[in-house]
Structure 1
Amino acid sequence: MSSFSAVDVIATKRDGGELSDAAIDWVVDAYTRGAVAEEQMSALAMAILLNGMGARETARWTRAMISSGDRLDLAAVGKPLADKHSTGGVGDKITLPLAPLVAACGAAVPQLSGRGLGHTGGTLDKLESIPGWRAGLDTDEIVAQLREVGAVICATTPTLAPADRKLYALRDVTGTVEAVPLIASSIMSKKIAEGTDGLVLDVKVGSGAFMKTEARARELAEALVSIGTEHGLRTVALLTAMDTPLGNTAGNALEVAESVEVLAGEGPADVVELTLLLAREMLAAVGIDPTGAADPERALADGRAMDVWRAMISAQGGDPDAALPAAREVHTVVAPTTGVLSRLDAYAVGVAAWRLGAGRARKEDPVQAAAGVVWHARPGEMVLRGQPLLDLHTDTPERIPAALEALEGGWEIGGELAVLPLVIDRISG
């Protein structure tokens, strides 16, 4: 007979109290087993959203989530393990070139990733636009690929932090996604259970991010770093801008193509800059000096990163030489006047890509591999009247009006230019 009840735990947090370690362990375990009802955990999640949790509570909640399942044993890999997590944005394809780049510099990268929901893209959705590529690997396959190739991007294994999988779905339908302690414990429970040696967090700030303000993003970054430090994981967080979408594309196959451009030594300047910066942070976090032979810029230039990319895609059944899907319909939006593009709103672009078919409203929804948005100018650049400004790609042209509606007011020519720096701050333990 348990000494706890769900109602008492809910009431404690509802009234602004602190949950004991034992209460947290009990409620997370009981919810995972089904002994705490969905409506009870919904009430507790809302109480946490409204009243928060302290650093001790959040660290213990994370520990309880980890304990709900298995930990990956990657000791056999024989290399330092570096990982990165982004809180999500629009055009954020950084993981795709970053994982093989860091592997080319001597670390192993176990990048367990997810799918997109709403206006933010999912890494697995992007890679699944490559013919034959598969996301689901078991632990033995992950270890073998890390040893042979150095990098793997795949779905989280079913036994890794199952409490998080259940709670994540609940938060999504109860308006509690924004609770910082629950975001932080969700991210860190999976990363710690994954067994990585060093973790770099890319916490997005701006209209296209979940954290719209720098203050909220900083709160999340500090919580993430605190949890990592508490669990003995070398953790660094960067606050990076997501007021303007990254690169020149948002969409699955479109972003894969742009990532391959980066690996070929080309690609948009902001994507290259952030990829190199995060690579250096990941290498430093696991004790590899990111200069000389391990300089990520050299690994891009001499083709080593591209070699790892091709091996990584092939190892998971994909054909790195196959043509990527192309949309059946492309609708072009032209500039109505001449002037400097002063704003391109990441959220508007993300919603447009979502409505074109690149994203999903529910986890079970399919996505279109070829759907998305391409923009031909970035804030600060001159555009001419009649020049193509945006291309809308979709296999279902009836979606175009809704995408155009999402873009209304999402860009401006001739207004005041106000763009955040790409990297706003760095937070470490």
Structure 2
Amino acid sequence: MTMTYLPQELIRKKRDGLVLSDAEITFMVQGITSGQLSDAQLGAFAMAVFQRGMTMPERITLTQQMMCSGKVLNWQNMDLNGPVVDKHSTGGVGDKVSLMLGPIVAACGAYVPMISGRGLGHTGGTLDKFDSIPGYDAHPDEQSFKSLVKQVGCAIIGQTAELAPADQRLYATRDVTATVESIDLITASILSKKLAASLDALVMDVKTGNGAFAAEMSMAQVLSQSISQVATGAGVPTRCLITDMNQVLGRSVGNAVEMAECIEFLLNPAQADERLVDLTLELAAHMLDLSGVADNLNDAKDKALAALNQGRAAQVFARMVAGLGGPTDLLEKPQHYLPQAPIVKPILASRSGYVCAMDVRAIGLSLVTLKAGRSKADDAIDYAVGLSGMAQIGDYIEQGQPLAVAHVRNDNQLALINQELVNLIQLAPDASRLEPLVKEIYQA
């Protein structure tokens, strides 16, 4: 039986910087889920945590109680012959890694039940990219989801109202009470949803740079330490990679254009963008290593590369798409199914030089203004709009050569994105030093 407390007393306790007991945190999470905690009390609690922080044991309890606030998936009766493993990214511009990563890891013998989110703000969402595929059902019932994971090895779907409902209410409150940037609450939010999938291992891609939520390296480090310690403390071995988001990831930004890049990546990996291949295989290797599918990181990299190069990952992707209601021949004729913009035109460089920097966040936001992303949760998306053929840092661009190719609806959109992009991608006479793709790795 749960003890009864006065919410205002627990808010006061946290406001004054005191530590909440497991029972007190459990009471607060149950109040969030049931509605017993009013919106005013929830906002005050979020602000108290934001201002005063939580100890590591408090974070672990908060995460576990939020995880248990709804349905927790159970794989015991599915008779799986491999580990259940997942990856989560804190989000970036052009970050389409999950689309290829899940199938690669599944093709190596692990099971990947990836429950992903929609984009909000300047970063795109994995789910929005899959929504560009006609017929793809990102919200199957639980039994269909689990069956597909068993049959194919991978299923990428959307968050359900049944998983971690406490997080859904707390997240919405944080959004309107200026308490989003709390390491304690970010950790609990991310992990409560992931751990509700009953994983054997989790790999986190924590982005840092001008296109990332954690723009400063110091914040990425604190968040990585928190996530790896809390998840491992909650019983799921977790490894965090801090990776660079000072340039667009891959050569496209948008929904249908990123899906097209993903399909091309799976079919012709030798022609794919090098950084995108490197990061995808690096994350895949850590998933295989941490979950025990591979003996070590080098063995894991060999397995992931073979699954990609031999076309086994592409087969998993195709079976997953068909299994969730999408076209059975999407990989053969992607252009036939993915939405196409009526105007496809290059954006030309006004002078020559090496690409030395880009304002990634501003590039993401400029696409939001063209409806490729959302500024509010209920905004409609134009899946056809985007950029392909993006120049990367280190590329030499001649005056009059393309910085990118715009996929837009009309001439006004073309003029807008043209004006923006020319100012957001910087050119210099000499090539600059490339940032390392993976900056640091944390594991508790």
TM range (shorter): over 0.9
Aligned counterpart, 1:385 = 399
Letter in 1 for 2:247: T
What residue in structure 1 maps to residue 36 of structure 2?
35
Q: Is the 8 A contact 1:71 1:194 kept in 2?
A: yes
* Matched ranges for 1:185-334 at <5 A: 185-264=188-267, 265=269, 266-289=271-294, 291=299, 295-319=303-327, 320=330, 321-322=333-334, 323=336, 324-330=338-344, 332-334=346-348
How do 1:27-426 residues align onto structure 2 when only pairs under 5 Å count? 27-75=28-76, 76-78=78-80, 79-264=82-267, 265=269, 266-289=271-294, 291=299, 295-319=303-327, 320=330, 321-322=333-334, 323=336, 324-330=338-344, 332-395=346-409, 398-400=412-414, 403=417, 407=421, 409-414=423-428, 417=432, 419-426=434-441
CA drift of 1:394 comes to 2.7
Paired AA for residue 356 in structure 1: L
Deviation at 1:77, TM superposition (A): 4.7
Distance 2:151 2:5 in 1: 48
Q: For the Cα contact (< 8 Å) 2:3–2:23, is it kept in 1?
A: no
Cα distance change, pair 384–35 in 1 and its aligned pair in 2 (3 A): same
Matched positions, count = 429
Instruction: Please say if residues 371 and 394 of structure 1, whose CA atoms lie closer than 8 Å, have aligned partners that are also in contact.
Output: yes
> For the aligned residues, what is the CA RMSD?
2.0
Q: Relative to structure 2, which stretch is displaced further, 399-408 or 40-49?
A: 399-408
What amino acid is aligned across from residue 101 of structure 2 in structure 1? Answer: L
Aligned counterparts of 2:201 and 2:406: Cα–Cα separation in 1: 39
One-letter code aligned to 2:235: G
Q: Which runs of 5+ in 2 are unaligned?
A: none
Contact 2:281 2:301 in 1 (8 A): no
- What is the TM-score normalised by the length of structure 2? 0.92
In 2, Cα distance between the equivalents of 1:25 and 1:418?
49
Q: TM (normalized to structure 1)?
A: 0.95
Cα shift at 1:157? 2.8
Judge which range, 140-149 or 172-181, deviates more: 172-181
Paired AA for residue 381 in structure 2: V
Inter-partner Cα distance in structure 2 for 1:303 and 1:67: 39
Q: For residue 284 of structure 2, what is the amino acid of its counterpart?
A: A
Shift of 1:19: 2.0
For 1:88-141, what per-residue CA distance to the aligned partner results, in whole angstroms no more than 9, with x for missing partners? Answer: 001000000000111111111100111000111111100111111110012111
AA partner of residue 322 (structure 2): S
Structure 1 vs Structure 2: percent identity of aligned residues?
39
Please give the secondary structure, in 2, of the residue aligned with 1:244. Answer: coil
- Distance in 2 (CA, whole Å) between partners of 1:61 and 1:392 is 45
Amino acid at match of 1:423: V
- Do the aligned residues in 2 keep the contact of 1:356 with 1:393 (CA within 8 Å)? no
